[in-house]
Amino acid sequence: MQPGEVDPAPEEKLSHITILLDDDLALFLSRWGRFLPREQLEQFEGARGDYKVNFHLTTLLTQSTPPPSTPTSPPHICMTAHI
């Protein structure tokens, strides 16, 4: 949204997302896939065949699988540089 724009009504948001899902599955997955649980992402397996859909599904499904942890592994520490 741009400054000064009015937030669309929930019905408008749903309509936009539904149209995107129908018209461009790869774009839908890139924008909204991270909000879907693994079980719902797996429902898109039948749509594989398009390179972009394959890429987004593989990425999302890989990210939604937590890595196995071992009791001896050190905690993950994220270091970020502040410029």
Tens of pLDDT, residue by residue over 10-65, are 999 999 999 999 999 999 999 999 999 999 999 999 999 999 999 999 999 999 76
Instruction: Give the pLDDT score at 66.
Output: 59
Q: What is the pLDDT of residue 48?
A: 94
Cβ contact 60:31 at 8 Å: no
Enumerate the β-bridge partners of residue 50. Answer: 48
3-class DSSP state of 35: helix
pLDDT at 67: 54
Cα–Cα distance measured from residue 33 to residue 49, given in angstroms and rounded to the nearest whole number? 17
Q: Which residues contact 52 (CB under 8 A, 6 or more apart)?
A: 26, 30
